[in-house]
């Protein structure tokens, strides 16, 4: 089963991204043919700083490799290394009714937030459809905000197939029902736009500062504490098995420890959990040539599939070669 996912090269990742998205990707890697690419063309809709885009692209590759994307199991490449996707994007545009794009929530939300609308932002879902259909992906794991984009992809594919024959595989989206929203340091959803994140890769000092900022109720040290609605407990829980959770609950109920102790414990849990990833990241940062080689290999594999598919599509629409 082929699964495809695109990663926005958007800089620093936080533990909400890890538990909300990256962990699922790693699960898919073990049970499917995972295609994973860094969506640098998509990033162009909002990122206009060339140096930042170049840096973020390599940085995203390094981060995902560090967190466990294994090039032996999955195909990892940079979107712009396979130009066929842009040709397909244009061809699919001719099968995309304006109304379909005008209804896209993601576009409407961005415009409502005051982001100035340009054509790339508007036609973003068509490029996403090309990403998915070019590789005959069957499953697209997404967060809730991206479901509509996969539905648009299906609509475009159906329209094309109705006119030209069964050329594209119809993809299904997959959201993970088990994902909870990871709270940020203020208890609201952790998000880089709210400034309440705990970052995945940071210094120990900074991690201490970020966990130290978590809002907790004020209770005397000796008093028993409520764990169920405690932001620190809820973050610790992500890293603990059943026995670990019970042990921590007992510490809350016993009293005698303050929230400062639990914050310190959380810091340790995070620091330990990502120790191996941190080492791998340091390694890849020092060996960028290896990263580029992995991306080259991935692009080669993706290109072979893309070339074959595009020949079929060109024939179907009448491109003369
Ligand atoms: P941010 O809100 O920080 O900008 P993104 O929108 O870039 O994060 O999200 C990237 C991925 O991480 C998405 O799949 C999203 O669902 C997931 N994600 C982000 N924040 C959280 C969170 N607090 N809890 C669970 N998943 C999250
Ligand atoms: N739009 C997706 C996001 O913002 C990224 C993406 C681009 C993507 N192309 C894709 C995801 C194809 C899945 C499949 O997160």
pLDDT tens readout for residues 70-120: 999 999 999 999 999 999 999 999 999 999 999 999 899 888 988 888 999
Predicted local confidence at residue 46, as pLDDT: 84
> pLDDT tens across 8-63, in order?
998 789 999 999 889 999 999 999 999 999 999 999 988 899 999 999 999 999 99
Q: Which of 22, 37, 101 is nearest to 75 (CA)?
A: 37
Confidence check: pLDDT of 158 > 80: yes
CB 192 less than 6 A from any atom of ligand 1 = yes
What separation in Å is there between the alpha carbon of 190 and the centre of ligand 1?
8
- Cβ proximity of 291 and 68 under 8 Å: no
CB 139 less than 6 A from any atom of ligand 2 = no
Confidence check: pLDDT of 178 > 80: no
Upper half-sphere CA count for residue 11 (Cβ side, 13 Å): 8
Predicted local confidence at residue 242, as pLDDT: 96
Bridge pairing between strands 33-38 and 75-78 = parallel
User: What is the pTM for the complete model shown?
Assistant: 0.92
What separation in Å is there between the alpha carbon of 181 and the centre of ligand 2?
20
Q: What mean pLDDT do residues 1-8 have?
A: 95
CB 303 less than 6 A from any atom of ligand 1 = no
Predicted local confidence at residue 12, as pLDDT: 86
Residue ranges of the alpha helices (H) in 170-213?
204-212
User: Under DSSP, is residue 4 helix (H, G, I), strand (E, B) or coil?
Assistant: strand
What separation in Å is there between the alpha carbon of 302 and the centre of ligand 2?
16
- Pick the residue whose CA is nearest to atom 8 on ligand 2: 6
> pLDDT tens across 241-286, in order?
999 999 999 999 999 999 999 999 999 999 999 999 999 999 999 9
Predicted local confidence at residue 176, as pLDDT: 83
Alpha-carbon torsion 319, 5, 3, 289, what sign? positive
Known catalytic residues?
Answer: 110, 189, 192
CB 191 less than 6 A from any atom of ligand 1 = yes
For the chain, the average pLDDT equals 95
Confidence check: pLDDT of 173 > 80: yes
Bridge pairing between strands 33-38 and 139-141 = unpaired
Which segment of 21-30, 173-182, 202-211, 305-314 scores lowest on mean pLDDT? 173-182
CB 79 less than 6 A from any atom of ligand 2 = no
pLDDT band at 145 (very low <50, low <70, confident <90, very high): confident
Ligand 1 atom nearest residue 20's Cα: 26
- Residues contacting residue 66 through CB under 8 Å, at least 6 positions apart: 201, 277, 278, 280, 281, 284
What separation in Å is there between the alpha carbon of 198 and the centre of ligand 2?
23
- Pick the residue whose CA is nearest to atom 18 on ligand 1: 17
To test the pocket of ligand 1, the residue of 8, 27, 191, 200 to mutate (highest count of ligand atoms within 8 Å of its CB) is: 191
Q: What mean pLDDT do residues 166-175 have?
A: 96
Alpha-carbon torsion 247, 251, 257, 260, what sign? positive
Q: List domains and CATH numbers for the chain.
A: 2-181+288-317 (3.40.50.620), 202-273 (1.10.240.10)
CB 4 less than 6 A from any atom of ligand 2 = yes
What separation in Å is there between the alpha carbon of 102 and the centre of ligand 2?
18
- Pick the residue whose CA is nearest to atom 10 on ligand 2: 6
Ligand 2 atom nearest residue 149's Cα: 1
Predicted local confidence at residue 210, as pLDDT: 97
What separation in Å is there between the alpha carbon of 251 and the centre of ligand 1?
31
């Amino acid at each position: 089963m082929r699964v495809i996912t695109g990663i926005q090269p958007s800089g620093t990742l936080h533990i909400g991204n890890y538990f909300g998205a990256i962990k699922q990707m790693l699960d898919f890697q073990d049970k499917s043919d995972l295609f994973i690419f860094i969506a640098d063309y998509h990033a162009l809709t909002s990122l206009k700083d060339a140096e930042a885009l170049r840096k973020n692209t390599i940085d995203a590759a390094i981060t995902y490799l560090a967190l466990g994307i294994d090039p032996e199991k999955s195909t990892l490449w940079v979107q712009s290394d396979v130009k066929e996707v842009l040709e397909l994007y244009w061809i699919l545009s001719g099968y995309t009714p304006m109304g379909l794009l005008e209804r896209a929530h993601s576009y409407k939300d961005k415009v409502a937030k005051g982001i100035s609308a340009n054509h790339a932002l508007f036609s973003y879902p068509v490029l996403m459809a090309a990403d998915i259909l070019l590789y005959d992906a069957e499953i697209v794991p997404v967060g809730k905000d991206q479901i509509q984009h996969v539905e648009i992809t299906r609509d475009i594919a159906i329209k094309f197939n109705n006119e030209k024959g069964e050329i594209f595989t119809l993809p299904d989206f997959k959201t993970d029902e088990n994902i909870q929203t990871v709270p940020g340091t203020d208890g609201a959803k952790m998000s880089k736009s709210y400034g309440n994140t705990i970052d995945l890769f940071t210094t120990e000092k900074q991690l201490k500062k970020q966990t130290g900022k978590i809002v907790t109720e004020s209770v005397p040290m000796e008093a028993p504490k409520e764990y169920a609605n405690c932001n620190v407990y809820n973050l610790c829980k992500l890293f603990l098995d059943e026995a670990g959770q019970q042990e921590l609950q007992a510490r809350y109920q016993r009293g005698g420890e303050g929230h400062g102790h639990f914050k310190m414990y959380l810091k340790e849990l995070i620091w330990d959990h990502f120790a191996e990833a941190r080492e791998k990241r340091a390694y890849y940062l020092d060996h960028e040539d290896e990263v580029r080689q992995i991306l080259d290999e991935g692009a080669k594999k993706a290109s072979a599939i893309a070339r074959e598919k595009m020949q079929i599509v060109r024939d179907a629409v009448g491109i003369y070669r």
